[in-house]
Structure 1
Amino acid sequence: MNRTTVTALVLWISLIVGTGTGIAAESANTPAPSSQAGPGDRTPASAAKAGNPAASNWHPKVVFQINDDDDVPVVLRYVTNYLKAEPTAEVAVVGYGEGLDFMLKGAVDSDGKPYADQVQALKDKGVAFKACNNTLKARTLGADAVIPAAVVVPGAVNEIIRLQTREGYAYFKN
């Protein structure tokens, strides 16, 4: 993640927890939290210890963007590894342009393995896969061309922005 993404994520967390005062109060050099929650602690866990009920249900939310089919294998690996580190995370993968191809019926990886199996395995872990209808329409494809494990959204860019601004998702692009 670049510094801007980290700063945005820290700001988002501080707003959700309700203890932060904005970007000026946050930095990538924020000290690690101590075992006792104090007024300077801005982590979700410390807020829960301090009695903030909203923070006790906190879990990370991340949207992964794919718009290049060359990025698909690595992003799927990132999602898998991320879920190992953050098993309660809500994860969405939004594909458009060539990055949508792996969500089409019959798509296979470089080893000839169906992407549908990989997508289904991640969906079973709670990952939401979202295919861009604008891309489908530009290719004269319908929603029936998309594997069952994915849902079609009106537009990928709109969906990514909605997830970030309305649902508090952090953003990742390879």
Structure 2
Amino acid sequence: MTVQKVIFHIDEISKWKLLLKNVANLLQAIDIEKYNIEVLANSEAVKLYSVNEELDENIDSMKKLNNKGVSFVACNNALMAYHIKKDDLFDFINIVPVGVLELINKQSEGYAYIKP
């Protein structure tokens, strides 16, 4: 069985709702067992991963998508730039050292790149 791989990239807070809708639409159209889906946030978009942000529908959407197998990843450089500590993140968020390097690595592994 071939597993399709997709990485969604977000770097603007204002695009979160659109990105999460794109991911949800993809999940409705596919057999999730045949996909690896990752959402990588860098730049200001990492702010939404902080438990100190106002909880809203985007956080609920992220949790639901994560429960369906979607991985959420934060760029450590962006976290440091916005003074966000690991303890401030939701427990389902993973951290990578450098967001752009994660994008390069995922694309070299055959991930499709999507940026709304």
Fold conserved (TM > 0.5)? yes
Displacement of 1:133:
0.4
Instruction: Determine the structure 1 residue equivalent to 2:42.
Output: 96
- Stretches of 4+ moved more than 3 A in 1? none
Instruction: Determine the structure 2 residue equivalent to 1:58.
Output: 2
- Does residue 83 of the first structure (1) align with residue 27 of the second (2)? yes
Alignment of 1:11-26 (within 5 A): none
Instruction: Determine the structure 1 residue equivalent to 2:59.
Output: 116
Deviation string, structure 1 residues 78-101 (Cα, Å, up to 9, x no partner): 000001112332110000111112
Match for residue 168 of structure 1 among 84, 100, 110 = 110
Answer with 1 or 2: which has the greater Rg: 1
CA contact (8 A) 1:129 1:151 kept: yes
Deviation string, structure 1 residues 85-139 (Cα, Å, up to 9, x no partner): 123321100001111122111334xxx6254322111011110000110011112
Match for residue 91 of structure 2 among 118, 138, 148 = 148
Higher relative CO (Cα under 8 Å, sequence separation at least 6) belongs to 2
Quote the Cα distance in structure 2 between the aligned partners of 1:105 and 1:87: 31
Quote the Cα distance in structure 2 between the aligned partners of 1:113 and 1:141: 19
CA contact (8 A) 1:119 1:149 kept: no
Q: What TM-score, normalized by structure 2, do the two folds share?
A: 0.89
Of 78-87 and 114-123, more deviation after overlay is shown by 114-123
CA contact (8 A) 1:91 1:128 kept: yes
CA RMSD of aligned residues (A): 1.5
**For structure 1, which runs of at least 5 residues remain unmatched after alignment?**
1-56
Percent identity of equivalent pairs? 32
Displacement of 1:61:
0.9
CA contact (8 A) 2:42 2:75 kept: yes
Displacement of 1:155:
1.1
**For structure 2, which runs of at least 5 residues remain unmatched after alignment?**
none
Quote the Cα distance in structure 1 between the aligned partners of 2:57 and 2:64: 12
Aligned residues: 114
Instruction: Determine the structure 1 residue equivalent to 2:12.
Output: 68
